[in-house]
Amino acid sequence: MHIVIATRGIKHDVDRFINDLQAQYFPMDYNGSKIFAQLGVRPVQLWELVFPKEHLQCVMNTLWDGAISARPEFKMPLSILRRTLKLKKIPELDTTVLKRIVYKTNVGIHPIGIKEDEVKHESL
């Protein structure tokens, strides 16, 4: 059984809530034996990464290792989310640009979109 929820709050309070959820175990029958199954907590998170515009390709290479892709079943929902958030499509990847090394094992990184910074010049 799955329940999908959204959380909002101070980061350390949300982290504590998630840690408490992960500490929950439920009895269940498995192949004739009574076992305890841990409550699986799988984050579905939306992140906005902010960086200087001239480093777009570096950030993209860091995230996607040479290919920008989303699982086919995610393409439509991500497209709807991109339009809802008023984002542009992510441009083609230039694999000749350097990338930074970050830990990505067991992390699905799904492309949504980009937006330009709003530049406001204030006069003195």
Query: 88 and 41 in one domain?
Result: no
Which residue segment(s) compose the domain that 76 sits in? 47-119
Nearest in space to 116 (alpha carbons), one of 72, 56, 74, 62 = 56
116 DSSP assignment: -
Query: 53 and 32 in one domain?
Result: no
Q: Is residue 124 predicted with pLDDT exceeding 80? A: no
Query: 51 and 30 in one domain?
Result: no
Q: Is residue 13 predicted with pLDDT exceeding 80? A: yes
What is the number of domains present in the chain? 2
pLDDT of residue 54: 94
User: Cα separation of 11 and 42, whole Å?
Assistant: 16
In a domain, 21, yes or no: yes
pLDDT of residue 39: 95
Query: 37 and 66 in one domain?
Result: no
Query: 57 and 8 in one domain?
Result: no
In a domain, 124, yes or no: no
pTM for this model (two decimals): 0.74
Read off the pLDDT of residues 41-77 as tens digits, 9 standing for 90 and up: 998 888 899 999 999 999 999 999 877 877 888 889 9
pLDDT of residue 8: 82
Nearest in space to 48 (alpha carbons), one of 59, 64, 35, 32 = 59
